[in-house]
C-alpha cells in the first residue's frame, strides 16, 4: 500500500557485470537491461494490487541506474506499451557503450580465469571468484581513467540506436516528465578514496592530456577551466572536465530538447568526511531520507542536515505523484534547483560558463 508520501516504491534486482552486460557469443545482448524491462512490465501489470497507479509509473535510477533508465525510456518496447510516465536520472545519462570496450573487459576476465569467453564457461566459475576477478579487472573502469567496462550496447532491438540521440531527436518518450541532475563534485568519489587526487596532481600536463583524449577535446577546454577555476589543482580540473563531458553536457542536451517536461537539479551539500565534497552518490541518503543508516553515513559522515533530506525526499515524492517537484521547468535561462544546507534555491545557468567552452571547442577547425 502507498507509504507516507502516497507513493508505492518498487526496487528490483537484475543481472550485473559480465552476466548482465558482457558481450558473449552464446547469450543475448543486454540481458541486464532485459531483466529491468521484464520488471517494469510486471510493475505496470501488477502495481494496482499494491495501491499504485499503472498510468503514473516513475522510473528512477542513479549512476548506472540512470543510464539504464535512459535506455529504457528510449526502448521501443517500453514506449509501445506505455510503461513509463515519469523518469528521474540522477548522475547518469542515456548512453550506449562502445562494443570494443565491453569485449576487452570480457576478454580480460576470461584470460584471468583461464576460461573461454562464453556464457557457459562464466556460469561454471565459482561465484566468489567471479566477483573478485571482476572487481580486480575493473579497477580502471571508473569514469576518469575510462578503461574497459561493462555497459549497455546498441543491439538493434531493445537498444536500436544511441539512447541519448533517440531522446534528443524526440523519437521516444515524448510525454514523459523528466527530472535530471548531478552532484557538484561527482568526480571526488572517483578520485579521492583510491588516492588518485595526489597521483593526478603529480602527473600534471600528462593527466590533462589524458583527460583531453578521454573527453575528445582540444587544449582550449582545459585552458578555459584553468581560467574559470584559478585555484584548482590538476586533479580538480580533470575531474570537472570529465564530469561535464560525461554528465552535464548530455543532460543539458536532453533538457534543451524537452524543456516543457524537464526539471534540472544540483546537489551541493558537501560531506563532512575529508575531501569528498558533494561527491557522486552522496545525494541518495537524502533522496530516500535514510541519513540515520550506516550506509548513508559512509559517504555523508555525521551530522547530515535532516532538513535537506526532508526537502529532497519531498521533491522526489511530489514529482512521482504529479510530475512537479516544486521547481521551475527548464527554459533558455537554464534554471537549476540547488539542494544545499539552506533552503532549496533556483540558480540560472550555474554551469553555463564551463559548458560554453565545449561548444566553442566543437566550432574550432582541426
- Whether 186 is catalytic: yes
Contact of 183 with 267, CB cutoff 8 Å: yes
Q: Give 338's contacts (C-beta < 8 A, 6+ positions apart).
A: 265, 266, 268, 344, 345, 346, 347, 350
How far, in Å, are 22, 99, 151 from residue 16 at the CA level?
A: 9, 16, 9
Choosing from 44, 63, 142, 296, which is the catalytic residue?
63
Contact status, residue 261 vs residue 212, Cβ threshold 8 Å = no
Query: CA–CA separation, 136 vs 141, rounded Å?
Result: 10
Coil/strand/helix, residue 363: helix
Yes or no: say if 134 and 109 are a contact pair by the CB < 8 Å rule: yes
pTM over 0.85: yes
CATH 3.40.50.1820 fits 180-366, yes or no: yes
Cell of 165: 540521440
CA distances from 95 to 65, 164, 261 (A): 12, 6, 20
Q: Which of 142, 186, 245, 271 is catalytic?
A: 186
Q: What is the pLDDT along the chain (366 residues), one digit of tens a residue?
A: 666 788 999 999 999 999 999 999 999 999 999 999 999 999 999 999 999 999 999 999 999 999 999 999 999 998 878 999 999 999 999 999 999 999 999 999 999 999 999 999 999 999 999 999 999 998 877 787 777 899 999 999 999 999 999 999 987 888 999 999 999 999 999 999 878 888 888 888 888 898 899 899 999 999 999 999 999 999 999 999 999 999 999 999 999 999 999 999 999 999 999 999 999 999 999 999 999 899 999 999 998 999 999 999 999 999 999 999 999 999 999 999 999 999 999 999 999 999 999 988 775 544
Residue labelled with grid coordinates 540481458: 31
Which helix (H) or strand (E) segment is 148 a member of?
none
Cα torsion angle, 31, 32, 37, 43, sign: positive
Helices (H) and strands (E) in the chain, counts: 18, 6
Domain edges within the chain: 1-103+150-175, 180-366
If you search the block for the grid coordinates 550485473, which residue do you land on?
A: 16
Name the grid cell of 152: 549497455
Q: Please pick, among 142, 280, 296, 334, the residue that the annotation labels catalytic.
A: 280
Distance CA 248, CA 127 (A): 36
The three three-digit cell numbers of residue 260, written as one number: 516543457
| Residue whose C-alpha is closest to residue 71's, from 168, 146, 136, 166 | 166
Apex CA 172: angle with CA 167 and CA 173, to 5°?
95
Spatial contact of 54 and 44, defined as CB atoms under 8 Å apart = yes
Concerning whether 63 is annotated as a catalytic residue, the answer is: yes
For cell 557522486, what's the residue?
280
Active site residue 327: no
Amino acid at each position: 500500500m502507498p507509504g507516507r508520501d502516497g507513493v508505492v516504491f518498487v526496487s528490483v534486482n537484475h543481472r550485473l557485470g559480465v552476466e548482465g552486460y558482457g558481450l558473449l557469443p552464446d547469450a543475448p545482448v543486454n540481458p541486464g537491461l532485459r531483466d529491468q524491462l521484464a520488471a517494469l512490465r510486471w510493475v505496470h501489470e501488477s502495481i494496482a494490487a499494491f495501491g499504485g497507479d499503472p498510468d503514473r509509473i516513475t522510473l528512477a535510477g542513479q549512476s548506472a541506474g540512470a543510464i539504464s533508465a535512459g535506455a529504457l525510456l528510449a526502448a521501443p518496447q517500453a514506449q509501445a506499451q506505455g510503461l513509463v510516465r515519469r523518469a528521474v536520472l540522477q548522475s547518469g545519462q542515456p548512453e550506449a557503450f562502445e562494443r570494443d570496450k565491453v569485449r576487452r573487459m570480457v576478454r580480460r576476465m576470461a584470460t584471468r580465469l583461464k576460461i573461454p569467453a562464453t556464457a557457459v564457461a562464466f556460469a561454471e566459475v565459482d561465484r566468489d571468484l567471479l566477483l573478485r576477478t571482476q572487481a580486480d579487472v575493473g579497477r580502471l573502469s571508473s569514469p576518469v581513467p575510462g578503461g574497459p567496462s561493462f555497459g549497455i550496447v546498441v543491439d538493434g532491438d531493445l537498444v536500436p540506436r544511441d539512447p541519448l540521440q533517440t531522446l534528443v531527436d524526440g523519437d521516444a518518450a515524448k510525454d514523459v516528465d523528466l527530472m535530471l541532475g548531478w552532484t557538484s563534485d561527482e568526480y571526488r568519489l572517483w578520485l579521492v578514496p583510491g588516492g588518485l587526487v595526489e597521483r593526478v596532481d603529480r602527473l600534471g600536463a600528462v593527466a590533462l592530456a589524458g583527460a583531453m583524449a578521454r573527453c575528445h577535446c582540444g587544449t582550449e577546454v582545459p585552458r578555459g577551466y584553468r581560467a574559470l577555476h584559478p585555484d584548482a589543482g590538476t586533479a580538480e580540473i580533470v575531474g570537472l572536465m570529465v564530469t561535464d563531458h560525461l554528465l552535464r553536457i548530455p543532460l543539458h542536451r536532453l533538457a534543451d530538447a524537452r524543456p516543457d517536461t524537464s526539471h534540472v537539479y544540483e546537489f551541493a551539500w558537501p560531506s563532512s568526511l575529508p575531501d569528498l565534497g558533494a561527491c557522486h552518490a552522496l545525494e541518495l541518503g537524502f533522496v530516500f531520507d535514510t541519513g540515520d543508516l550506516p550506509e548513508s553515513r559512509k559517504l555523508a559522515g555525521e551530522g547530515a542536515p535532516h532538513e535537506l533530506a526532508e526537502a529532497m525526499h519531498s521533491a522526489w515524492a511530489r514529482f512521482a505523484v504529479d510530475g512537479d517537484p516544486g521547481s521551475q521547468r527548464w527554459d533558455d535561462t537554464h534554471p537549476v534547483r540547488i539542494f544545499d544546507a539552506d533552503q532549496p534555491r533556483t540558480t540560472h545557468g550555474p554551469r553555463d560558463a564551463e559548458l560554453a567552452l565545449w561548444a566553442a571547442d566543437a566550432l574550432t577547425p582541426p
